[in-house]
Amino acid sequence: MTASKSSRARNARIGAQASAARNAARGGTAVKNGSATRNSDATRNSDATRNSDATRNSGANPSSSVSRTGTATRNGGRDQARTAVTRNGGAERGARTQAAVDDAQGGPAPWLQIATLVLALAGLGVSTYLTIAHFTESTLAGCSEKAGLVNCTKVTTSAQSYVFGIPVAVLGLVFFLFMVAIMSPWAWRSARREVHLIRIASLAAGIGLVLYLLYAELFIIGSICLYCTSVHVITFALFALTAFAAAMWGLDPARQSS
């Protein structure tokens, strides 16, 4: 009996110890599970926080992008406006510079002034020679006197060599004397409108006389004079250059350039 009780008591203690050990193991697992749960919750909360922050940031970024895009667009518009202003300012400065150059030069381009003066001097030289030959009744150098299309003597001694009783050579001399004066750089730079009007009007009259003389040579006399033809060409060239100057700079080039 005593041994049996002792065995029962030992078995009870062993069972109690085993039960305590099992309970301890279960408690540790629960603690561990609780820690895992807490860690999982913390992780979830951390992820949620990060996702929320990311969401906020992503929500803020579009507006920031829009703001940047709008700013870039505005800056681009300002840059384009500045570029346009710069270009316009450059064009205006260029126009003012060109106007200042024209004003300093006065009148049309220098090449045109020089060309017209040289042509007028050439016409004056030929007309002077024709006038001398007319009054001295000398033969024109280098001009054929044989029958044919070119016969200077036949032309210069014909009835058509006089207009209103005045020798055509003398009219040419007076005309080119006036042309030398009116085609000088001082005349081109004149601020008086009348000077430029007289220039083109006198050339128009000169062209009318040249057309008459050409008709007389070709259809009445039947011959041409090389010296007379050179005078005709010079008159046409002067008229063309003067008309060009009037088209480009107007009938008052000095004031037009200023």
Query: How do residues 223-255 score in pLDDT, each as one tens digit?
Result: 999 999 999 999 999 999 999 999 988 776 555
Which domain does 36 fall in, by range?
1-105
Check residue 26 and give its pLDDT: 57
For tokens 């001009």, the residue is: 143
User: Are residues 132 and 56 part of one domain?
Assistant: no
With pLDDT > 70 as the criterion, what percentage of the chain qualifies? 55
- For residues 221 and 173, membership in a common domain is answered with yes
Q: Are residues 150 and 90 in the same domain?
A: no
Instruction: Check whether residue 59 and residue 154 sit in a common domain.
Output: no
Please tell me the predicted confidence (pLDDT) of residue 191.
Answer: 86
Cα 99 to Cα 256: distance, rounded to the nearest angstrom: 9
Looking at the fold, whether 43 and 156 belong to one and the same domain comes out as no
80 and 136 housed in the same domain = no
> Which segment of 62-71, 87-96, 107-116 scores lowest on mean pLDDT?
62-71
Q: How confident is the model at residue 177 (pLDDT cuts 50, 70, 90)?
A: very high
Q: Are residues 84 and 11 in the same domain?
A: yes
Give the model confidence (pLDDT) of 144-158 as tens digits. Answer: 777 778 888 899 999
The answer on 240 and 134 residing in a single domain is yes
The tally of domains found in the chain comes to 2
How many Å apart are CA 107 and CA 246, to the nearest integer? 10
- Rounded to the nearest integer, the mean pLDDT of the chain is 74
How large is the average pLDDT for residues 112-126? 97
CATH no. for residue 114? 1.20.1440.130
Q: Which of 61-75, 157-171, 179-193 has the lowest mean pLDDT?
A: 61-75
In this structure, what token pair is assigned to residue 135? 């009054």
Q: What is the pTM of this model?
A: 0.58
The rounded percent of the chain whose pLDDT value lies above 90 is: 43
CB 251 within 8 A of CB 196: yes
In degrees, to the nearest 5, what angle opens at C-alpha 198 toward C-alphas 233 and 178? 55
Name the pLDDT band for 200 (thresholds 50, 70, 90).
very high
